[in-house]
Amino acid sequence: MENSYVIFHVEPGWMGLVGNKKGLKRIYLPGLKKQELKERIASEFPQSEEESSSWGQAQKQFVEYFSGKRSKFDLPLDMSEITPFQRKVYSVLSGVPFGEVCTYRWLAQKIGNPKALRAVGLANATNRWPLVIPCHRVVGSNGFLTGFSAPGGLELKARLLRLEDIPVEAGKVPAERIPLTPALSRKGRGD
């Protein structure tokens, strides 16, 4: 299946989107120069073509997010190449709302495998749809920001959390912002 991509500018820098008729295959967060991003896309998706008109609605949603005007995404994702485990993790993670955080331990418990902390971390590290599947909202049990593989690393993760009004100081989210129970239950939506 033929893929197309677009590179566009948002408040922190250049973003890239790659997708096909099924949906987005990859979201590249800001952190690279435009040419570096183009080279990375060409390397990872050699059969893709740049089409600036392909992903207009998606571009609009990301611009709105980074300008503080959007808290949810409504975009088709092509998840045909992920594992059942990743699908389970991403399904739970997608339910963590804007302005909330969860822990790796919580995610492991919610998928029914409390000892799978490393596997949950790996699923987050290989998330191809950051922001839409909000891996930036996952923190360590002690509140420290960990494991953000996007360009810009933990600095970008802190910026994204602050954009969602989650305070981050010295690389850590305050303890009172880290739920002992699932983030969704704090708002009365069940556990």
105 and 20 within one domain: no
Q: Which two tokens stand for residue 3?
A: 């893929």
Residue 51, in any domain of the structure: yes
Token representation of residue 77:
């994702």
Number of domains in the chain: 2
pTM of the model: 0.89
> Considering the domain boundaries, does residue 123 fall inside one?
yes
Domain that holds residue 144: 84-187
**Residue 76 falls inside a structural domain:** no
Helices (H) and strands (E) in the chain, counts: 6, 6
- Tell me the CATH number at 153: 1.10.10.10
Structure tokens at 20: 């096909």
Asked if residue 88 and residue 27 are part of one domain, the reply reads no
Residue range 86-118, pLDDT digits in tens: 999 999 999 999 999 999 999 999 999 999 999
Residue 163: count of CB within 10 angstroms of its CB: 18
Active site (annotated) includes residue 135: yes
Mean pLDDT across the chain, nearest whole number? 90
The number of beta carbons lying within 10 Å of the beta carbon of residue 119 is 18
Residue 73 lies in a domain: no
Marked catalytic residue, from 135, 160, 166, 178: 135
